[in-house]
Amino acid sequence: MFKRVFIFSILFLLCNSKISFSQSYYDFEIEAINFEGNNFFSASDLLKNIESKETPMWVWVFLDSFTPFGDEPVYFDSSKISIDILALKELYRTNGFFNINVKHDVVIDSADKAIVINYYITENEFLNYGNISLFGLDRLSDYDYGRLMNESYTIDSTKRFSESEVQGNISKIRRFLANNGYIFGGYDSTIVTIDTIRQKTDLSIYFHTGDKYAIGETIINKSGLSIEQINNKLISEIADLKPGRIYDQSEIDRSELRLLKTELFTAINIDPIISDTINNTIPVEVNAAIGSLNELSPEIKADNEFNSFNFGLGIGYTRKNFFGDARKLSLSTSFRLVDILNIDLANIFKSGAERDSTYQGVFDINLKMEQPFLFGRAILTSTEIYLSSKTFSDYSENSYGGRQKFDFEMPPYTFITLFRPFISYDVAERENIARINLNGIQLDLTETDYSLTPGIGVELGSSKTDDILFPTTGSYLFFTPELFHSRTDIQYVLRLITDQILQADSNEVGNIYFYRLQTGLSNYLPLSDDRTTVFASKLRIGYSQPITGSDNPKVSANELIPPNKTFYAGGSNSVRGWKSRELIPKDSVEYYGYTTETDAIRGGTFWFEGSFEMRQKLNEYLGYAVFADYGNTWNGWKNVRIDEIAVAVGLGIRVYTPIAPFRLDFGTKFYNPEDQKTIFRKNFLDNLTIHFGIGEAF
For the stretch 452-475, pLDDT in tens is 889 999 999 999 888 877 888 999
Q: Please compute the mean of the pLDDT values over residues 338-345 and round it to a whole number.
A: 74
Q: Are 311 and 301 in contact (CB under 8 A)?
A: yes
Q: Are 88 and 50 in contact (CB under 8 A)?
A: yes
Overall residue count recorded for the chain in this entry: 698
Residue from 627, 637, 631, 609 nearest 664 by CA? 627
**DSSP secondary-structure letter at 113?**
T
The yes-or-no verdict on residue 599 having pLDDT over 60 is no
Instruction: List CB contacts of 229: < 8 A, sequence separation 6 or more.
Output: 290, 293, 321
| Integer Cα distance of 364 and 314 in angstroms | 9
- Strand pairing partners for 540? 520, 609
Q: In CATH, what number does 24-122 get?
A: 3.10.20.310
| Integer Cα distance of 90 and 156 in angstroms | 22
Highest mean pLDDT pick, 49-58, 351-360, 666-675? 666-675
The pLDDT score that the predictor gives to residue 351 is 53
Instruction: List CB contacts of 289: < 8 A, sequence separation 6 or more.
Output: 222, 223, 224, 265, 266, 267, 268
In CATH terms, are 128-208 and 214-290 the same topology?
A: yes
pLDDT tens sequence across 201-214: 999 999 999 899 99
Tell me which amino acid residue 147 is.
R
Least confident interval from 180-184, 404-408, 431-435: 431-435
Q: Quote the Cα angle for 266-300-615, to 5°.
A: 85
Q: What are the distances in angstroms from CA 419 to CA 330, 410, 479?
A: 23, 7, 10
Q: Are 646 and 630 in contact (CB under 8 A)?
A: yes
Q: What are the distances in angstroms from CA 411 to CA 35, 416, 462?
A: 47, 9, 12
Q: Are 625 and 591 in contact (CB under 8 A)?
A: no
Percent of the chain with pLDDT over 70: 86
Confidence of residue 8 (pLDDT cuts 50, 70, 90): very low
- Burial (CB < 10 A; 0-12, 13-18, 19+), residue 270, is buried
* Alpha helix stretches (DSSP H) within 342-410: none
Q: Please compute the mean of the pLDDT values over residues 145-169 and round it to a whole number.
A: 88
Confidence of residue 499 (pLDDT cuts 50, 70, 90): low
Judged by phi (left if over 0) then psi (alpha if -120 to 50, else beta), residue 152 lies in: alpha
| Integer Cα distance of 113 and 116 in angstroms | 11
CA atoms within 13 A of residue 317's CA, in its CB half-sphere: 5
Q: How far is CA 474 from the centre of its chain?
A: 11
| Integer Cα distance of 689 and 650 in angstroms | 9
**Pairing, β 594-597 against β 501-526:** unpaired
Q: Please compute the mean of the pLDDT values over residues 618-642 and round it to a whole number.
A: 90
3-state secondary structure of 405: strand
The pLDDT score that the predictor gives to residue 174 is 93
Fold of the domain spanning 214-290: Ubiquitin-like (UB roll) (3.10.20)
CA atoms within 13 A of residue 206's CA, in its CB half-sphere: 5
Q: Are 70 and 153 in contact (CB under 8 A)?
A: no
Confidence of residue 488 (pLDDT cuts 50, 70, 90): confident
Buried b (16+ CB within 10 A) or exposed e, 364-380: bebebbbbbbeeeebbb
| Integer Cα distance of 277 and 214 in angstroms | 10
| Residue 2 parent element (H or E) | helix 2-23
**Pairing, β 688-694 against β 661-672:** antiparallel
Q: What are the distances in angstroms from CA 363 to CA 206, 333, 525?
A: 62, 8, 40
More confident call, 46 vs 351: 46
The pLDDT score that the predictor gives to residue 508 is 61
More confident call, 585 vs 206: 206
Domain segments of the chain as ranges: 24-122, 128-208, 214-290, 293-372, 394-694
| Integer Cα distance of 606 and 585 in angstroms | 9
- Burial (CB < 10 A; 0-12, 13-18, 19+), residue 562, is buried
- Strand pairing partners for 220? 286
Tally Cβ neighbours within 10 Å of residue 238. 23
Confidence of residue 97 (pLDDT cuts 50, 70, 90): very high
Fold of the domain spanning 128-208: Ubiquitin-like (UB roll) (3.10.20)
Residue from 417, 421, 411 nearest 474 by CA? 417
The pLDDT score that the predictor gives to residue 588 is 53
Tally Cβ neighbours within 10 Å of residue 330. 19
CA dihedral over 546, 548, 549, 551, signed as positive or negative: negative
The pLDDT score that the predictor gives to residue 405 is 95
Reported pTM: 0.70
pLDDT tens sequence across 354-377: 555 567 889 999 999 999 888 778
Tally Cβ neighbours within 10 Å of residue 644. 16
SS3 for 268-317, per residue?
A: EEEEECCCCCECCEEEEEEEEEECCCEEEEEEEEEECHHHCCEEEEEEEE
Architecture of the domain spanning 394-694: Beta Barrel (2.40)
Buried b (16+ CB within 10 A) or exposed e, 61-98: bebeeeeeebbeebebebebbeebbebbbebbbbbbbb
pLDDT tens sequence across 28-44: 999 999 999 999 988 88
CA dihedral over 555, 558, 560, 564, signed as positive or negative: negative
Q: What are the distances in angstroms from CA 395 to CA 398, 429, 563, 586?
A: 10, 11, 11, 17
Q: How far apart are the first and last CA of the chain?
A: 77
Q: What are the distances in angstroms from CA 440 to CA 239, 434, 496, 502, 647?
A: 73, 16, 12, 15, 38
Q: In whole numbers, what is the pLDDT of the chain averaged over residues?
A: 84
Strand order of the sheet with strand 101-109? Answer: 29-36, 114-122, 101-109
